[in-house]
Amino acid sequence: MYGAIEAGGTKFVCAVGDEFGQITERMVIPTTVPEETMTEVISFFKQYELEAIGVGSFGPIDVNLQSPTYGNITSTPKLAWRDFPFVKVLKEAFQKPIGFNTDVNAAALGEARQGAAQGLDSCLYITVGTGIGAGAVVGGKLLQGWSHPEMGHILVRRHPNDPYKGKCPYHGDCLEGLAAGPAIEDRWGEKGVHLADRKDVWDLEAYYIAQALMQYIFILSPKRIILGGGVMKQKQVFPSIYTHLKELMNNYVSLPELSEYIVSPGLGNDSGITGSLYLAHQAFENDVKFLSENKI
Ligand code: ADP
Ligand code: ZN
């Protein structure tokens, strides 16, 4: 049995399940301060005999195994969680292998194994919610370099009729600054959920998302793109994204039928927690391999 945590800015979803991503129990814990939230997380998992725990966390996080601060949350605006040593705390509590990756990488893994990209060895999972982030599976593996990708903070061409300054605390009018949920609310004066019938809102949203997708497609050429997160629950934005993307791509490369290529998550709200179970299983397998290679 494996444990999984989808650590978000407002809530932690904890679950136990098997290596095939099947969840048997789950619990939702509010994200307050580490001392409080982690005490509840640990007592939830203590009820079970676990082989490993996988974490898909909000970030940025340190995923560089060579780094002295590996396993920490790093520069999050949630001050109580800044520099929180996530992996260390779980290791101390359970003495089991801990898989640790970004929430969006976990979601990409979940979707690739069981969701809308099942059976494909590459996909891109993008969340448009409080922030914008993306995780990629490339050649069957999560894409990671020196650190994890931060695809939500790319620069996009501003719409000539959009005077909004942008909301990213680091870059102002990067993609997240122009198109995440808080930017929509700030620009239009209302939450996205109340703007459902405003064609101009979703056309502008699609204009920015399509630009980002073109860049991701040109750089990664994923076999499927999954658009998740609260904002993408506005399904009317999808056709508009297809239209803008077609116009931008201008037939330069051939793409699959867009309505099958750019889709909603197959696992609904469970992409991240399911992927975190797979992260736990991967951590377990890596540990077994390490122990046998080192004859421990
Ligand atoms: P988080 O990114 O914090 O994990 P969400 O993916 O739900 O959580 O994103 C929250 C953001 O998405 C908020 O800015 C909210 O206004 C917006 N949002 C959530 N649900 C919807 C919806 N159905 N339609 C439009 N915007 C939404
Ligand atoms: Zn930014």
Residue 75: give the domain boundaries: 2-103
Residue 38's alpha-carbon distances to 13, 84, 129, 293, in angstroms, are 12, 11, 24, 33
Contact 274, 237 (CB under 8 A): no
9 lines ligand 1 (CB under 6 A): yes
pTM of the model as a whole: 0.96
Question: What tokens does 220 get?
Answer: 């990664």
Looking at the domain assignment, is residue 95 inside a domain?
A: yes
pLDDT score, position 158: 97
The tokens 């992996």 sit on which residue?
Answer: 87
**Looking at the CA of 107, which ligand is closest?**
1
Regarding whether 254 and 171 lie in a shared domain, the answer is yes
pLDDT score, position 152: 98
**Distance in Å, CA 292 to ligand 2 centroid:** 43
Looking at the domain assignment, is residue 12 inside a domain?
A: yes
Between β-strands 52-57 and 132-138, what pairing exists: parallel, antiparallel or unpaired? unpaired
Q: Which residues have a Cβ under 8 Å from the Cβ of 80 and sit 6 or more positions away? A: 32, 33, 34
Regarding whether 228 and 155 lie in a shared domain, the answer is yes
Q: Could you tell me the strand order of the sheet in which 123-128 lies? A: 141-142, 132-138, 123-128, 225-228, 262-263
Regarding whether 253 and 135 lie in a shared domain, the answer is yes
In tens, the pLDDT along 244-292 reads 999 999 999 999 999 999 999 999 999 999 999 999 999 999 988 888 8
pLDDT at 294 over 90: no
**Looking at the CA of 176, which ligand is closest?**
2
Which atom of ligand 1 lies nearest, measured to the CA of 131?
2
Regarding whether 124 and 77 lie in a shared domain, the answer is no
pLDDT at 296 over 80: no
Q: Which residues are placed with Cβ below 5 angstroms of ligand 2, an ion? A: 153, 168, 170-171, 174, 176
pLDDT at 238 over 90: yes
Regarding whether 153 and 38 lie in a shared domain, the answer is no
Regarding whether 256 and 155 lie in a shared domain, the answer is yes
Between β-strands 98-102 and 52-57, what pairing exists: parallel, antiparallel or unpaired? parallel
Q: Where are the alpha helices (DSSP H) in 134-220?
A: 175-179, 181-188, 199-220
Calculate the CA 85 to chain-centre distance: 20
Regarding whether 179 and 133 lie in a shared domain, the answer is yes
